Each structure stands twice: as C-alpha cells, then as structure tokens.
Amino acid sequence: MMNLIIVKIGGNAIHSLTPDFFEQLKTWRQAGKKVLLIHGGGPQISQLAEKLSIPTVKKNGIRVTDEATLSLTKMVLLGNAQPELLTRLNQAGLAAVGLNAADEHLLSGNFINKDEYGNVGQISAVNEIALSKLLTDQIGVLAPLALTSEDSWLNVNADTAAADIARLLKASQLYLLTDVPGVLRGGEVVSQLIPQDVQTLINKKVITAGMQPKLLAACAAIHAGVHSVRITDRLTHHGTILQEVVSEP
C-alpha cells in the first residue's frame, strides 16, 4: 500500500500519548499519508484476568490463551483499549475508525502452536483492498486479533501483528511506541541499529524481555522491505531507528 505508516501503541503507551503524537498524525494525514494504528492492551488484559481470578501464563513474552483468556482478551482489546484510543483521537480532531479482524475479514491468521500457546496466532494475510479504502478518509485503529480460515479467533502479540502487517502491506515506515525512549545500552538510547546488531545485543543480554520479540519482529519487517522501524516513546525523530544499512548522520 503506497504511503502507509503503521504505528504500534503498547497498552502502557495508550495512557501517555502527548499532544506531539496527535500533531504528528495530523501532519501525516495532511501530507496524504495513510495511517494505521495497531494497539496493544497487554497490561489491561492481565489486570482484568487478575480481577476475575483467571491465571496469567506467559511463555517467551506470549500470553498462553485458553478459551476464557481469549474471551477476556477480546473484551479488553475491543471494549476498553480500542475505544480509549479512539476517544483520544476524536478529542484531538482526528477522524478515526475502530477495526477488528472480522470487519471485512481484514486479518487472517494461523495458530502458531495450539498445544503450547492455545488460541495464539500470527497474521497470514490482510484484506488490503478493503483496508486501503477504509484508510483513505480516516485513521484506522486495529486490534491485534486474527481469524483463521474456519473463523476461530486468535490472540496475536501486538508487536508481531504490527510488523507482519507492515511486511504484508509493504508499509514505508513502522513505529513501535513503547514505555522506554528507545533501545537502551548502558542507560543510553542507541540511535541506530542494523539487523545484525540485534542478534549480537540479544546474545550479550543487553536486549531482554519484551524488547527481544519487539526487535526480532522489527528485523523481519526490515528484511521484507519496510524502509525503517523506529522504537521510541514518541513520534518524533527520537528513539532507535532500525534500518538495513546505517544511514549518514
């Protein structure tokens, strides 16, 4: 899809969006860019699970999703995280529409390993024609859920979903908004990375926890032709930029 910018907003980041964020979205829309926001909601899902006494089990940063967890995940993403983000966009005067996998079968997916993770998947296809029409006049706000060919719902890690959608749609840029200003090394933000550096930093245990799947998803997007992935807590020229080659300062 031409001129497409994808921004993933982690569940924590939804609460701390600043006026700059909305200004940048306005600038992009005025410049004729299509903008797709993929939202998380992981901390909110875990909070509700605790209230309902449903145990949270995570393996390699992925939520093991049985039937009860799938239903509460859908409730939180589509009933809480998504409307919260849409309200903020509306307040900022931005036209936006909330979307999920079942709208025109926007996102198809496959189970990653049903025995190990339950109803967890990865995105295998995007209905590009339908999405492109939807994004002409408004910003799309899409939840990280997919539907199998047999219409089973799948929970998808939001970083992986954003990177796979960016790869499948050949987005020009991907932003992964999180709760840290970028990839940190010795307390400092690393301003530029190439995919080869990522594996080295994982091996050296500089990159751990949630940052690990985030960067691996980012590398896959770069290899598939996405021009740049920025890992940051704001939509300006801050944070860590991941590109195929190091660019001149």
Ligand X SMILES: Nc1ncnc2c1ncn2[C@@H]1O[C@H](COP(=O)(O)OP(=O)(O)O)[C@@H](O)[C@H]1O
Ligand Y SMILES: CC(=O)N[C@@H](CCC(=O)OP(=O)(O)O)C(=O)O
Q: Residues annotated in the binding site, as ranges?
A: 41-42, 63, 155
Q: How many CA atoms lie within 13 A of 248 on its CB side?
A: 0
Question: Which residue from 183, 217, 235, 241 is in contact with ligand X, where contact means CB under 6 A?
Answer: 183
Residue with smaller CB distance to ligand Y, 147 or 197: 147
H or E stretch covering 45 = helix 42-51
For residues 198 and 240, is the Cβ–Cβ distance under 8 A? no
Question: Which residue from 45, 198, 201, 231 is in contact with ligand Y, where contact means CB under 6 A?
Answer: 45
Q: How many CA atoms lie within 13 A of 9 on its CB side?
A: 27
Restricting to residues 73-92, name those near ligand Y by CB under 6 A: 73
Query: What 3-state DSSP class applies to 55?
Result: coil
Burial 43-79 (b: 16+ CB within 10 A, else e): ebbbebbeeeebeeeeeeebbbbeeebbebbbebbbe
Q: How far is the CB of 98 from ligand Y (least distance, A)?
A: 16
Task: Specify the pairing of strand 107-111 against strand 62-63.
Answer: unpaired
Per partner kind, with CB cut-offs from 5 to 8 A, the member of ligand Y, ligand X, none near residue 120 is ligand Y
Q: How far is the CB of 214 from ligand Y (least distance, A)?
A: 9
Per partner kind, with CB cut-offs from 5 to 8 A, the member of ligand X, ligand Y, none near residue 144 is ligand Y
Residue with smaller CB distance to ligand X, 8 or 135: 8
**Residue 203, interface with ligand X (CB under 6 A)?**
no
Amino acid type, 176? L
Rounded to 10°, the helix 158-169/211-223 angle is: 10
> Tokens 């939804």 map to which residue?
14
Q: How far is the CB of 189 from ligand X (least distance, A)?
A: 8
**Residue 184, interface with ligand X (CB under 6 A)?**
yes
Per partner kind, with CB cut-offs from 5 to 8 A, the member of ligand X, ligand Y, none near residue 179 is ligand X
**Residue 118, interface with ligand X (CB under 6 A)?**
no
**Residue 109, interface with ligand Y (CB under 6 A)?**
no
CA angle 229, 211, 34 (to 5 degrees): 30
Residues in contact with ligand X, total (CB under 6 A)? Answer: 19
**Residue 118, interface with ligand Y (CB under 6 A)?**
no
**Residue 210, interface with ligand X (CB under 6 A)?**
yes
Which residues make up the interface to ligand Y (CB under 6 A)?
Answer: 10-11, 40-42, 45, 62-63, 73, 120, 144, 155-158
